[in-house]
Structure 1
Amino acid sequence: MTDTALILVDIQKDYFDGGRWTLSRMDEACGNAARILAHARETGDMIVHIHHEIPSDDAPFFRPGSEGAEIHPNVAPQSGEEVILKHKPNSFLNTRLQDTLSSRGITNVVIVGAMSQMCIDATTRAAADLGYKVTVVHDACAARDAEFDGVAVPAAQVHAAFMSGLSGTYATVVDCENFLSSR
């Protein structure tokens, strides 16, 4: 066992083509997340799958019990891997994630998944605030186009803005190749 946990955040079907809330470059992010997941399984790192459901019949995506809320099969949990349900962007908020990590002596977390501007951001900041050493693998994360006050922001720029905000203060932000070659 190691002191590192891989946290796969919301890699769920609704974020992929044909889903209810499609993200840009989600297939690529999932492919890289799958590579990191395979590496974590080989090295014995703790693996935590975060599964988001929005408990409302009016939810635009991740409706409880829907196919779109299911974890994508390319990163599906295996026996013995933690699966934690959440209802808010921050994976630590009102979940058992903190207790689960603490019970295993985890001090380092690696975060991948979606959405960069929402759950990745919230979970990364919370992890850092809780004292974890955090690594975000940026090309194993995906974003969605955004709009604010009449300004359209393409997903690539949204992703870059959020990764730059996390880099340094909250996390070490690296790409998949560098992450895998450093481990």
Structure 2
Amino acid sequence: MTDAAPPSHALLVVDVQKAGVTGGRAVPGAAGLLDRTADLIARARRAGALVVHLQNDGAPGSDDEPHTPGWALHLPVEAGPTEFVIRKTRDDGFAQTSLGSLLSGAGVEAVTVCGVMSEMCVQATARTALALGYRVVLPHDAHATQDIPAAPGISAAVPAAVVSRVAAWAISGDAEVTVPAADVRFAAPRTGAR
């Protein structure tokens, strides 16, 4: 960790729902991801940073269909003035949600993004945060996804770790993606700064 790196004012916990992190369909390395995410949440809370849990409302019959066991958030939420749950129906956590107004209204200038799936909801949310002018930190060890199965005649299977790395690399020119979760720092947002 370098002292020159400014702290994040918000932690966006993307779709850390039971369907993606428990049971036979959990992302590879789910236990480690959960440990690192829980640590990020605890440190953000202690610093007074915003903690926003994004919760995907999947289609009927999907693993994350609302009000099914897989839809439930896996990590406990301490709802209050600095911790929120925002439900979404698209990959991008900003699309048709109150996330943008919440961050703007709180004076957030920098966000850390973690969760699942790297190449879908995590990347889409991080990209929009960048487009809106936020400093974005995407810790390389705090997001995950599934393996991509082989496509006969096109490619062999792609391991989940490679998919996550490529997803982060695709936005690495603008976001900080090499920092480990343990090195992320948090601070309370400066209300009205944006």
Q: Which stretch shifts more, 91-100 or 23-32?
A: 23-32
Contact preservation (8 Å) 1:31, 1:140: no
* Contact kept? 2:8, 2:184, Cα under 8 Å: no
| Greater fraction strand | 1
- TM-score, scaled to structure 2: 0.84
- Name the counterpart of 2:77: 77
Aligned to 2:171: 166
Q: How does 1:49-60 map to 2 (within 5 A)?
A: 49-54=53-58, 56-59=59-62
| 1:42 equivalenced with 2:69 (yes/no) | no
Aligned ranges for residues 27-176 of structure 1 at < 5 Å? 27-54=31-58, 56-59=59-62, 61-72=63-74, 75-80=75-80, 81-147=83-149, 149-150=151-152, 151=155, 152-169=157-174, 171-173=175-177, 174-176=179-181
Give me the whole-angstrom Cα distance separating, in 2, the residues matched to 1:105 and 1:3.
12
Name 2:191's counterpart in structure 1: none
Deviation at 1:140, TM superposition (A): 1.3
CA displacement at 1:57 relative to structure 2 = 2.1
Deviation of residue 165 (structure 1)?
1.5
Residue 135 and residue 24 in structure 1: after superposition, are their counterparts in 2 closer, same or farther (change >3 A)? Answer: same
TM-score of the superposed pair, with normalisation by structure 1: 0.89
- Deviations along 1:44-89, whole A, 9 cap, x unmatched? 00111111111x3232x101100111010xx321031111000111
User: How far apart are 1:10 and its partner, in Å?
Assistant: 0.5
Does the CA-based 8 Å contact 1:3-1:104 persist in structure 2? no
Larger radius of gyration: 2
Whether the 8 Å CA contact 1:40–1:47 is kept in 2: the answer is yes
- In structure 2, runs of 5+ residues without a counterpart are 1-6, 188-194
Determine the structure 2 residue equivalent to 1:4: 9
Please state whether the residue corresponding to 1:24 is helix, strand or coil: coil
Provide the residue aligned with 1:177 in structure 2. Answer: 182
Unaligned runs of 5+ in 1: none
* Aligned length, in residue pairs: 175
Bigger relative contact order, structure 1 or 2 (CA pairs below 8 A, ≥6 apart): 2
Q: What letter matches 1:67 in structure 2?
A: P
Partners of 2:90 and 2:166 in 1: how far apart? 22
For 2:98, the aligned partner's letter is: R
**Is this contact kept in 1: 2:91–2:121, CA < 8 A?**
yes
- Aligned-pair identity in percent equals 34
